[in-house]
Structure 1
Amino acid sequence: MDAPIRPELVDFHGISMTKIFTENWENIQNFQARPDDILIATYAKAGTTWVSQILDLLYFGQTERHKTLPIYERVPFLELHIPSYMSGTEQADNLPTSPRLIKTHLPYQLVPKSFWEQNCRVVYVARNAKDNMVSYYHFNRMNQGQPAAGDWNSFFQKFMEGKMVFGPWYDHVNGWWKKKQTYPKIHYMFYEDMIEDTGREIDKLCSFLGLSPSAEEKRMVVGGTQFDNMKKNEMANYSTIPMMDFKISPFMRKGKVGDWKNHFTVAQNEEFDEDYKQKMKDPTLQFRTTI
């Protein structure tokens, strides 16, 4: 059987994208947000599914939906458009839940303006660049819907150059961090903090959302969103999507902080750190590469 043809990157409003995220653009830009929508925004492979599952459990509890509907149907991916299969905008429009939980990987400047006009709450999750790069590499290896990963060395260079779907990591995390200064309804979370103390970060999230779960509910959320539990959960681990080849790598691989040390050579690490200093000038935005 021939290997599927992998998509190519296209330049789209100055950002590298692939067609499955741009072909529905008019509907994306005209998407009508509602005031109680919650937008989950992340750079790809930064903990999106984890936070989606946390929010879904916080709002709707352990219901039948969790056993029968995969996470990508409970939390639609706004810009995803696979002709004759699904478009994220239609899925979001048809969501029966309130609030609607909607996810995006778009940089802040491409988010549909109705989210800002409706004063929606946004939960942004950021992950340190080194681990994010490693996770993205393995994701591109196993997901036929992504550009081919190539070997690790070439992927490493492409990541630093920002030749990734959704553009450079640096611009993404910095852009959303700056947006938070002028738009206070953004809760900016760090993947490393969530790994370190999930309960504490869920408390902060609840405080932002105005939720007060009971101790029992909170235990259920923390338990239901532990990495190993989600990795085994077919409704959360994306194993029901044919274009993802789990024989190459699972969608949920390790969920660790510091796995980059198993991939970066000493020379790559030095090169990366030098480049990082040039691109990450804002002293108020700090990441941890180990915990």
Structure 2
Amino acid sequence: MAENPPQSQLPADETHLKTAQLDTTKLKTTGNETIQPEANSTQANGSKTSDLRNLRATADHPAAGPGLSSAEGTDKDDDDPEIARMLAALKSIVIPDDWLPLPVDPNTTNPVTRAYRYHGMVLLNVHLLCGSLQHWAQFRGRPSDVIVASFPKSGTTWLQEIVWRVVHRETGAQSGGGRTLEYRFPLLDLPATERMAMTPLHEMESPRLIKTHLMYHLLPESVHTSGAKVLYVSRDPRDVCVSYYHFQRMVDYERYRGTFAEFRDKFVRGEVMNGPYREHVRGYRDHSDHVLCLTYEELHEDRVAAVLRVAEFLDKPLTQEEAQAIAIHTDFENMKKNPGCNFKHWEQTQMVKTTDEGTFMRKGQVGDWRNYFTEEENNAFMKWANEPIQ
């Protein structure tokens, strides 16, 4: 097995860049977390919408759990019977004692979603509504399982597509027989829904390819005991922060309307969905003896080498020609053209509120953070990023 590289150093940049002043007094983690939900990756091909995008209420609707805001931003389809059903279900949820409620972020203009801290990780009332805890408890890992894990916006889709092609030796322009990644690579975090016509994980044929944003310590125990293969991709936290900001502004059920400076401070405080970021990354890197840890930057610098590392880890040897073909077809621009992994179908549903912030696959660049951080802000951010985790 190829040896995992050490954590990359992320030097500060001297360039003076445009953005608001950073309040360095906020650059510390706190116990008060407010979050934005990360997109549910189980949107059906051509379906009207996913269950999650309908989680909204009118401004004066009492939503599930304490502290939900009455933010603006209701839609004409709020009278949809499905929405009414889900709102009623949300109000009836019994919140477990180990789900600690977090303050509401006024910049999140969808008033329904409620955030909690569950054993160190930020999750949503949606996880309770969908039965995620039972889903994780009932999950049974298999030796042939392949799990791609990440913090959101770190290169998950990129690594998923590489893994799919390696496992199935697909070297052509298209992949998956026209099926989108949600169906080829379902999300562990939320159970499949009948409405989306997805096959439940326990009914899937082996080898199962599974995606997750769960922190390492929250993975079902059978992931570890079954001998399943786990791969983790991480990215420069500055680029993650920028990409996540635009993503949260784009998706309908989030409707984040704060400034980048506000989102950046929230990111540092560990208040975004699936956070805190540093602990998420550390959890997997601390187990790199049996988790293949890759970086977004590696995928940019030498994708052929990355493909070969993945193939070796998965015991799926490839020829140099096959690895080169997979590297070509997983080039960012080629993936943007591939309907099997570009998530363009989200734009045909209410999953995406606006495309003003770009598309699901926005830029795919290394170093876009330079357009958002001043030198002072970058130095403060990287001081936080490199501090030892208590």
Q: Same fold (TM over 0.5)?
A: yes
Select which of 123, 129, 132 maps to 1:17: 123
Select which of 234, 254, 273 maps to 2:382: 273
Whether the aligned pair in 2 keeps the contact of 1:76 and 1:103 (CA below 8 Å) is yes
Tell me if 1:91 matches 2:200.
yes
1:11 is paired with a residue whose SS is: strand
Select which of 73, 78, 86 maps to 2:188: 78
- Quote the Cα distance in structure 2 between the aligned partners of 1:240 and 1:215: 33
Whether the aligned pair in 1 keeps the contact of 2:135 and 2:191 (CA below 8 Å) is no
Whether the aligned pair in 1 keeps the contact of 2:308 and 2:318 (CA below 8 Å) is no
- Quote the Cα distance in structure 2 between the aligned partners of 1:74 and 1:235: 9
Task: Note the C-alpha offset of 1:102.
Answer: 0.2
Pair 1:87–1:38, CA change in 2 (3 A): farther
Select which of 323, 328, 346 maps to 1:218: 323
Equivalent position amino acid for 2:117 in 1: D
- Quote the Cα distance in structure 1 between the aligned partners of 2:192 and 2:255: 15
Task: Note the C-alpha offset of 1:147.
Answer: 6.3
Larger radius of gyration: 2
Select which of 296, 300, 317 maps to 1:191: 296
Specify every segment of 5 or more residues in structure 1 that has no aligned partner in the other structure, as ranges: 282-291
Residue 256 of structure 2 aligns with which residue?
Answer: 148
Task: Note the C-alpha offset of 1:108.
Answer: 0.4
Q: Deviations over 1:141-187 (max 9, x none)?
A: 1122446252101101000000011111100111111123xxx3210
Pair 1:83–1:34, CA change in 2 (3 A): closer
- Quote the Cα distance in structure 2 between the aligned partners of 1:141 and 1:225: 26
- Quote the Cα distance in structure 1 between the aligned partners of 2:142 and 2:192: 24
Task: Note the C-alpha offset of 1:273.
Answer: 2.1
- Quote the Cα distance in structure 2 between the aligned partners of 1:212 and 1:250: 34
Q: Deviations over 1:227-265 (max 9, x none)?
A: 001112222111212202434321011111110000112
- Quote the Cα distance in structure 2 between the aligned partners of 1:257 and 1:107: 24
- The worse-fitting range, judged by mean Cα deviation, of 13-22 and 154-163 is 13-22
Whether the aligned pair in 1 keeps the contact of 2:191 and 2:200 (CA below 8 Å) is no
Residue 170 of structure 1 aligns with which residue?
Answer: 278
After TM superposition, the structure 1 = structure 2 runs for residues 250-269 of structure 1, keeping only pairs within 5 Å, are 250-269=359-378
Residue 239 of structure 1 aligns with which residue?
Answer: 344
Question: TM-score by structure 1 length?
Answer: 0.86
Whether the aligned pair in 1 keeps the contact of 2:143 and 2:228 (CA below 8 Å) is yes
Question: TM-score by structure 2 length?
Answer: 0.66
Whether the aligned pair in 2 keeps the contact of 1:32 and 1:114 (CA below 8 Å) is yes
- The worse-fitting range, judged by mean Cα deviation, of 201-210 and 238-247 is 238-247
Whether the aligned pair in 1 keeps the contact of 2:245 and 2:260 (CA below 8 Å) is yes
- Quote the Cα distance in structure 2 between the aligned partners of 1:26 and 1:117: 19
- Quote the Cα distance in structure 2 between the aligned partners of 1:93 and 1:250: 32
Residue 74 of structure 2 aligns with which residue?
Answer: 2
Pair 1:8–1:266, CA change in 2 (3 A): farther
Residue 288 of structure 1 aligns with which residue?
Answer: none
Task: Note the C-alpha offset of 1:19.
Answer: 2.8
Whether the aligned pair in 2 keeps the contact of 1:77 and 1:104 (CA below 8 Å) is yes
Tell me if 1:44 matches 2:152.
yes
- Quote the Cα distance in structure 1 between the aligned partners of 2:125 and 2:329: 34
Specify every segment of 5 or more residues in structure 2 that has no aligned partner in the other structure, as ranges: 1-72, 79-109
Structure showing the higher helix proportion among its residues: 1
Q: Deviations over 1:16-36 (max 9, x none)?
A: 112334442111222111111
Pair 1:54–1:277, CA change in 2 (3 A): closer
Equivalent position amino acid for 2:292 in 1: H
Task: Note the C-alpha offset of 1:86.
Answer: 4.6
Residue 53 of structure 2 aligns with which residue?
Answer: none
2:292 is paired with a residue whose SS is: strand
Whether the aligned pair in 1 keeps the contact of 2:165 and 2:175 (CA below 8 Å) is no
Whether the aligned pair in 2 keeps the contact of 1:193 and 1:201 (CA below 8 Å) is yes
Residue 94 of structure 2 aligns with which residue?
Answer: none
Tell me if 1:125 matches 2:233.
yes
Aligned length in residues? 276
- Quote the Cα distance in structure 2 between the aligned partners of 1:211 and 1:67: 20
Pair 1:117–1:162, CA change in 2 (3 A): same
Select which of 191, 200, 206 maps to 2:305: 200
Task: Note the C-alpha offset of 1:213.
Answer: 1.4
